[in-house]
Structure 1
């Protein structure tokens, strides 16, 4: 995240003394776009791109030119496009409806927002056919010092760009915090960045508690990603609650195509998807060899800087854009479109977004209206290299254990907490059956899939009644100490059993989750739900309180600042 794009964006940032933002009424897109539907024009060769690192692969595939160049990957596969950057999504929708381009480029949330207006005519029904990237650090939720975890957003006011990429992010965070849109006040702004009407500008206002922003704005507002000092355009006390380095499976960037064009040109759509996969591979190889500063690498980054950032000199900025996304390549597209078990697949992501947009009354209701292409993605691997790669652990196990142990000793496990919830068990229970805990296990698997950059602690707690009875009988301190240690041992064995049961549960459902993400902890009787009375656990007053102490707590912790713990891709 520490790249020169920060400098470029800071120059555009408003300061607190500027005019107050003009908030807008976030209306359904069909009330914003009124373009009549037309057939796709014969000269409709426009392929839209947006200012995002993933689009550098599209530029590379085009031969690092606006118009497809001879010898480029697109040309080699019989494709010919004119790349047009269009960051205002409503403009893209208008051009799509008018037949000037058959393509849409956006996030799953952006295309879902347009689904009502696009489905009015069967010709323009959007068919999603390619996933480019996940945002993996380029977007952030910035909060003021009265917010410690996502659940603290209740009753707060959040600034978000309307019709932009952060609608997806907002939807997901509220859902996982157990909140709905009725629990927060959302103030919508027109622009993403660089103006008085952006979330970053709104964040300076006293009545704004949080904002979804791109990472350069987040770094500026928080004094470089630490805690805002109030100097140099930062907001005192502000911090990044989480970026998409933590929430790395929330914002999916995709391409969609008009239904009428798709039906007549399936071969082209298949070749386009396959070529983009090839381009992402080759570009990845170039980036991996960038220390040599080959002319091919510099050409790719210089032209990307020119078309995306309006300056061929902004190579470092283009590199920063690239670093903030994660290409999914061939494997990711197979998982996204064809793996029904994948928790972050097309149906799951589009369904969760559409349900929340219905709550906001931004779509008319009914079922999800996005379609996915009927391509055989598993057969698009010819000429590709990254087709059967296993996913490497994202965390350093030893460093995770050391970090969690330190936090446990300091009593600071809730520092950096994003979400938490509890699972209860019965007295003397040592095994955790999927038959009994399927609902809870599903939630853990889903959270682990969406927040692949967070540590998930599995914290076991024990019933203190045995210790309290022994103390009441006047047992010696050495005996009481043994009882405490036994309770701690039991609690960690239960935490490990729960973790192992979740891994087995996921494996049985052919869902891959990263075991290095989970860290079991045994608290024993030190943190009973019934509280502490003096130096000992408070005695439960009834059976309900007694059962409340027999639990496992799942806690998602943001560890982005711990570079020795988190291993970026």
Structure 2
């Protein structure tokens, strides 16, 4: 698994805030002011250079950039970039503040970071017309490399309210936190954030989120990279308290579930873009072509080409040719965007998780955190994507179902039998329908449909159950009249069938509505359930000694009666169910 990602050390700036508790003196927290308070470099104009400096970070997406350069820091003859008449010098800079300074001074015209990080830099970059950013390329989405680890008592993101969370300042997890909170209707003001300087522990002086979770009893949760998450939870199970684990700690969700949150991109200075648009376009085309080549090499990972590629990437990204396993894992922890991912991200502003949508949501969350002073409209390259497809293998294959539908059915059926569908719940909400209603008009359910589309757009690795519930009133009236078991069972079965049919009809209406908006939903991500009358939401509803609903479940008011007929949308984390989710 990868060990490095955005290691930011700004100790020369920080006014360190040590904990007051005597036993916790070694754990140190820092403030997190806007980057404009941290970066002091003055903007400079760009001058023509024979070799262009291009930044990398230690992340799987950067393997593609290295391969495009001929598996070398310097552009090699015969490489993809050389075929585009580019002459580049790649350098790794995991300190984002230093990257921003180099960008301002045009030591490099490029900026490499996550969408969250480049938005954090906007106060600095957008203050000068020359350094305004143009975002040109989306590399990856994190799809397993990052995680939220929690202590006992936190079962869903809603439980984070009022809790203390350890988070690296200016790092890749800030918009991970804000996105998770926003999904359940929470704001950053609803939690207490303790900022730390480091992402990982390099030595005893490091202060990371994982260390905070272990050593500070007031910290309830931490955003960490996956190797730290596995250590804190005793290899992804439940922390035992031994070695580097925290007793009772679990992974609430990783980016395997929240797989459309952390997005890595390249941006370029606007003055450089205007003066060298053809060159920047060639850079992006080279990345798109190399992305296809690297995917093929990973499919044939016994080839000599693969060995030389991965060894070079290991040396450049992790400082060791021997770190092949970690480098391979970094590649696997990302979903690589390629041509179709870029065309969709930049070319469909109306869709959820588009460039505009992501930037808007990040900035709305960062301003209250004092990480940005005001909203900034970031520019994008607006490439002619049909033209950009030149040299690529062809159209991307149609998206394959990401869940095993048979395994989903088995899991949902078993959870329904055990009454455990709420286990692993990330978020849920209800919609209601009238007696004898069998259709679900968009004008009535639009708000709910939009919420579902937003959730599955963020949590592409979660299972969404659509659970139908029927009104038990008639059954309970017949039961009080001592109707025969055969008749009662017929009423139960009829209600179960009807609730399933309604849930399925609602799913179909949702899919059709999304399609009308140009959004294709993966139906394999949905599990449809018909509870019938056996899970009423009547207050104080109790079951009798035979396990059947009792007359206490009968509605006491019209309002209670109307709320019995409902469908529950429930987003469930299923990372532990290996046969459910299909790896990329």
TM-score category, normalised to shorter length = over 0.9
Deviations 1:106-144 (A, max 9, x none): 010000011111111111111101000110101111111
Residue by residue, what CA displacement relative to the aligned partner does 1:40-70 show, whole Å, maximum 9, x if unpaired?
2333721001010000000111111111111
CA distance in 2, matches of 1:268, 1:278: 15
Q: Secondary structure at the match of 1:203?
A: helix
Question: 1-side partners of 2:165 and 2:438: how far apart?
Answer: 43
CA RMSD of aligned residues (A): 1.6
By how many angstroms is 1:7 displaced? 12
| 3-state SS, counterpart of residue 266 of structure 2 | strand
Q: CA deviation at 1:534?
A: 3.5
Q: Is the 8 A contact 2:347 2:382 kept in 1?
A: no
1:429 aligns with 2:437: yes
Deviation, structure 1 residue 277:
0.7
Q: Which residue is 1:200 aligned to?
A: 210
> CA–CA distance in 1 between the matches of 2:26 and 2:188?
24
Q: Match of 2:450, SS? A: helix
The normalised TM-score by structure 1 is 0.95
Which stretches in structure 1 are left out of the alignment for 5+ residues? 9-16
Change (3 A) 1:19 1:323: farther
Alignment partners' CA distance in 2, 1:91 and 1:26: 16
2:38 alignment partner in structure 1:
32
Q: Deviations over 1:226-269 (max 9, x none)?
A: 11111221111111111111111111110000111111111111
Q: Is 1:351 aligned to 2:360, yes or no? A: yes
Answer whether contact 1:134 1:252 (CA < 8 A) is retained.
yes
Distance (whole Å) between structure 2 residues aligned to residue 302 and residue 448 of structure 1: 36
Corresponding residue number in structure 2 for 1:88: 95
CA contact 1:457–1:556 (8 Å) conserved in 2: yes
Q: Given the alignment of the two structures, is residue 446 of structure 1 paired with residue 454 of structure 2, yes or no?
A: yes
State the Cα distance separating 1:18 from its structure 2 match: 8.6
Which stretch of the first structure deviates more once superposed, 190-199 or 63-72?
Answer: 190-199
Measured in 1, the distance between the counterparts of 2:195 and 2:250 equals 21
Q: Which residue of 1 aligns with 2:184?
A: 177
User: 1:526 Cα deviation (Å)?
Assistant: 1.5
Secondary structure of 2:130's aligned partner = helix
Pairs within 5 Å for 1:413-562: 413-531=421-539, 532-535=541-544, 536=549, 538-562=553-577
Quick one: distance in 2 between partners of 1:123 and 1:152? 45
Task: Determine if contact 1:247/1:451 at 8 Å carries over to the other structure.
Answer: yes
The answer (yes or no) to whether the contact 1:358–1:364 under 8 Å persists in 2 is yes
What SS does the corresponding residue of 1:533 show, helix, strand or coil?
A: coil
The 2-side partners of 1:19 and 1:325 are apart by 37
The equivalent of 1:376 in structure 2 is 384
Shift of residue 545 of structure 1? 1.2
1:487 CA drift (Å): 1.3
Is the 8 Å Cα contact of residues 21 and 189 (structure 1) preserved in structure 2?
no
User: Are 1:157 and 2:164 counterparts?
Assistant: yes
Structure-1 separation of matches of 2:313 and 2:457: 31
The Cα shift of 1:473 comes to 2.7
C-alpha contact (below 8 Å) 1:249/1:450 kept by paired residues:
yes
CA contact (8 A) 1:329 1:386 kept: no
2:141 is aligned with 1:141? no
**Contact 1:331/1:386, CA 8 A, preserved across alignment:** no
SS of 1:93's partner is helix
Aligned to 2:269: 258
State yes or no: 1:219 paired with 2:226: no
Provide the C-alpha distance between the structure 1 equivalents of 2:162 and 2:226, rounded to a whole number of angstroms. Answer: 25
User: Separation in 2 of the partners of 1:7 and 1:37?
Assistant: 29
Residue number among 398, 408, 411 corresponding to 1:400 in the alignment: 408
The alignment status of 1:99 with 2:85, answered yes or no, reads no
1:422–1:124 Cα change, 3 Å: same
> Which residue pairs with 1:12 in the alignment?
none
Whether the aligned pair in 1 keeps the contact of 2:4 and 2:200 (CA below 8 Å) is: no
| Structure 2 partner of 1:336 | 345
Kindly provide the CA deviation profile for residues 53-94 of structure 1, in whole angstroms up to 9, marking residues without a partner as x.
Answer: 000000111111111111111111111111111111111111
The answer to whether the 8 A contact 2:42-2:105 is kept is: yes
Q: Distance in 2 between matches of 1:392 and 1:20?
A: 49
User: Which residue does the alignment assign to 2:284?
Assistant: 273
**CA deviation map 1:149-172 (0-9, x unaligned):** 111111111111111111121111
Match of 2:255 in 1: 244
CA deviation vs aligned residue, 1:411-470 (integer Å, no higher than 9, x gap): 111111111111121222111011111111011111111111111000111111111222
Q: Contact between 1:6 and 1:219, CA under 8 Å: does it hold in 2?
A: no
Secondary structure (helix, strand or coil) at the match of 1:123 reads: coil
Match for residue 397 of structure 2 among 359, 379, 389? 389
CA contact (8 A) 1:341 1:511 kept: no
C-alpha contact (below 8 Å) 2:3/2:227 kept by paired residues = yes
In structure 2, stretches of 5+ residues that fail to align are: 6-22
1:6 CA displacement? 6.9
C-alpha displacement of 1:378 = 2.8
Paired residues in the alignment total: 555
SS at match of 1:124: coil
Mapped partners of 2:345, 2:512: distance in 1: 22
